[in-house]
Amino acid sequence: MVDASARLVTLTRAGFATRGVLYLVIAYFVITSGRTEDPAGALQYVGQGGGRILLLLMAAGLFGYGLWRLTDAIFNIEGHDKDRSGIGARLGAAASGVIHLLLAWQAIKFSQGASASSSSSPQENAQSMLTMPGGGTMLIVVGLVLLIVGGFQIVKAVKADFLKHLEPEVASEIWVKWSGRFGYAARGVIFLITSYFFVAAGLSEQASKAGGMAEALRWLTSPWDMIVAAGLLAFGFFSLIEARYRIIHRVPV
C-alpha cells in the first residue's frame, strides 16, 4: 500500500515535469516563430523528437498527475478550506485531473502513430455540443467555468499562495515567486480569452467561434502575444521547479 502511494507521488512529479516541458515548447514556438500550439500539439512535437518511449514516459507522468489531482478533488489531500475558495480549488483540481488524463491518452495515441489531426479540436467539440439539445447553453456554461478558472489563476498570481506548496528553502527565493506569478497570470489570460470564445460560440451557436490555447495565442496582437508567451515560459520553468520541490501529500491508495 505504501509502495503504491510512493509510486504515485513519483509519477505526479513526472507529471509536473511533463507539464513544464509542454509549456516551454508552446512558449518557444510563439516567441521564435509566431506558431501557436496547445498542449496536445506540443506533445506530438516532443514525441517526434524523442520517440515512442519518451511519449509513453510522458503519458505515465500525465496519468499520475491527473490521478493525483482527481484524488485531491475527492479526498482533499491538499487540505483546502471548506469555504467557497476551497470548493473552487477542488473543482479546479477535478477539471485539471480530467484534462491531464485526456492528455495522457493523447500521448499514448501519438506513441501508436496517430497524427495531431486525429485529436478533437475545440471547434469540433463545440460542434458536437451544438448537436445536443441546449447545446448553445452548454457552451455558455463551459465558457463561464473557464472564466472562473481564469479568475482563480489571476488570484493565485496576485496572492502567490502557490508558494505554500513548495519546500520552504525554495519558496523563499524571489525568482521562484515571480516565475510563478508571471506564469499563473499568463495562464489566467489564456483561460479568460478561451472563456470569451466559448461564450461567443454559445450565444451565436457557431462552433467556429470556439477556441483553445492555440486560438487564444493567435488572437492576441503584438506585443501581448509575446508577453503572454513569456509568462507561459515562466510557468514552464515553475512547473519544473514543482517537479522537484513541491510538497506532494501521499494519496490514500
pLDDT tens digit sequence for 138-193 = 999 999 989 988 999 999 999 999 999 999 999 999 999 999 999 999 999 999 99
Within the chain, residue ranges assigned H as helices are: 2-33, 39-75, 84-111, 122-130, 135-159, 168-171, 174-204, 213-219, 224-245
Q: What is the pTM of this model?
A: 0.92
Alpha carbon distance 84, 37 (integer Å): 33
For residues 137 and 71, the answer to whether their CB atoms sit within 8 Å is no
The confidence band for 26, taking pLDDT boundaries of 50, 70 and 90, is very high
Given the C-alpha cell 496547445, which residue does it identify? 38
Q: Taking 50 as the threshold, does the pLDDT of residue 210 lie above it? A: yes
Q: Considering the chain, what percentage of its residues have pLDDT values greater than 70?
A: 96
Residue-level pLDDT at 239:
98
> What does the mean pLDDT of the chain come to?
92
Alpha carbon distance 126, 201 (integer Å): 8
- When comparing pLDDT for 39 and 250, which is higher? 39
Could you write out the three-class secondary structure of 97-147?
HHHHHHHHHHHHHHHCCCCHHHCCCHHHHHHHHHCCCCHHHHHHHHHHHHH
Which 3 state secondary structure label does DSSP give 246? Answer: strand
Joined grid coordinates for residue 177? 515567486
Residue-level pLDDT at 7:
87
- When comparing pLDDT for 16 and 78, which is higher? 16
Q: What confidence tens digit (pLDDT) does each residue in 105-145 have?
A: 999 999 888 776 656 789 999 999 999 999 999 999 999 98
Mean pLDDT across the stretch 54-67? 94
Q: What confidence tens digit (pLDDT) does each residue in 35-57 have?
A: 999 999 999 898 887 788 999 99
Q: Taking 60 as the threshold, does the pLDDT of residue 1 lie above it? A: no
Task: Please report, for the chain, the start and end positions of each structural domain, with discontinuous segments joined by +.
Answer: 2-245
Residue-level pLDDT at 253:
58
Mean pLDDT across the stretch 74-99? 85
